[in-house]
């Protein structure tokens, strides 16, 4: 008996899917246009979500590797050489910005030894310039991490309203047809209302994943921002101990 109920529910679900598909095909041109717009929003949002998930995974892996290497290494030049294989993490760009400014202050002639410093007891001229270089690099990297997130925010905020717009137009069309036919029965108005509500469902289908993904990525960007700030402080502390 349980298997019969399961089979009946499966047939009912299949029938509902077919009816939904028929409603979409039988909908007006305006309704199809609204659904197409929502479909494009959803497709682009999911593409951004999957891409950013892959990028964040690489960023985390390379960031952990870079931090371990930075804390173990004794020379800035060794770290700079190893950065070529860890370009996925924003910490590398922050380090290179600080290291470039450090070389500029220590070696005006642009020459370096294997240790990455000059041979005449180098001292820092000013640490504020290096600090600004680190902050500028961190800001650039944060901008890169936030790329395409505005699309997710737009989808999350606009998609429900587009769906509501399609629903309102569908209900207006349904009641207009009802007034023309002059038959105030549920059979006459139900298909039109069902067709109209599909737009609302499509809008929510596009918006809900975008909201969840946007909040998640905002949290991840904040974490990477904090990691870059912490690394900048660690970099400055190491320079002060080494060259001051």
Q: Using the predicted structure, report yes or no on whether residue 206 has a pLDDT greater than 90.
A: yes
CA-wise closest residue to 31 among 211, 197, 146, 225: 197
Burial of 194 (0-12, 13-18, 19+ CB in 10 A): middle
> How far apart are alpha carbons 43 and 36 in whole angstroms?
10
Considering all CA atoms of the chain, what is the largest pairwise distance in Å, rounded to the nearest integer?
98
> How far apart are alpha carbons 224 and 93 in whole angstroms?
13
User: Which of the two residues, 191 and 156, has the higher pLDDT score?
Assistant: 156
Q: What is the pLDDT of residue 104?
A: 79
pLDDT digits (tens, 9 = 90+) for 184-201: 566 666 666 777 788 888
Are 9 and 176 in contact by the 8 Å Cβ rule? The answer is no
Are 80 and 96 in contact by the 8 Å Cβ rule? The answer is yes
CA-wise closest residue to 138 among 91, 104, 99: 91
pLDDT digits (tens, 9 = 90+) for 43-65: 999 999 999 999 999 899 888 88
Count of other CB atoms within 10 angstroms of residue 178: 16
Q: Label residue 25 by pLDDT band (50, 70, 90).
A: low
The predicted model scores a pTM of 0.75
């Amino acid at each position: 008996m349980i298997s019969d109920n399961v089979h009946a529910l499966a047939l009912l679900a299949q029938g509902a899917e077919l009816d939904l598909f028929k409603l979409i095909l039988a909908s007006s041109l305006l309704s199809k246009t609204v659904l197409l717009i929502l479909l494009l929003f959803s497709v682009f949002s999911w593409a951004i979500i999957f891409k950013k998930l892959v990028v964040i995974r690489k960023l985390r892996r390379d960031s952990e590797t870079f931090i371990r290497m930075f804390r173990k290494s004794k020379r800035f030049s060794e770290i700079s050489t190893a950065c070529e294989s860890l370009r996925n993490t924003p910490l590398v760009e922050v380090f290179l910005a600080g290291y470039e400014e450090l070389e500029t202050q220590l070696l005006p002639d642009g020459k370096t030894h294997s240790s990455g410093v000059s041979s005449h007891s180098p001292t820092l001229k000013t640490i504020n310039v290096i600090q600004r270089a680190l902050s500028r690099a961190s800001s650039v990297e944060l901008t890169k991490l936030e790329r395409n997130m505005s699309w997710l925010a737009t989808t999350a905020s606009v998609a429900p309203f587009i769906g509501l717009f399609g629903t309102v137009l569908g209900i207006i069309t349904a009641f207009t047809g009802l007034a023309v036919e002059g038959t105030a029965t549920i059979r006459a108005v139900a298909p039109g209302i069902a067709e109209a509500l599909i737009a609302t469902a499509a809008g929510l289908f596009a918006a809900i994943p975008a909201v969840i993904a946007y909040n998640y990525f905002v949290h991840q960007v904040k974490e990477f921002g904090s990691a870059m700030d912490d690394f900048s402080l660690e970099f400055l502390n190491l320079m002060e101990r080494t060259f001051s």
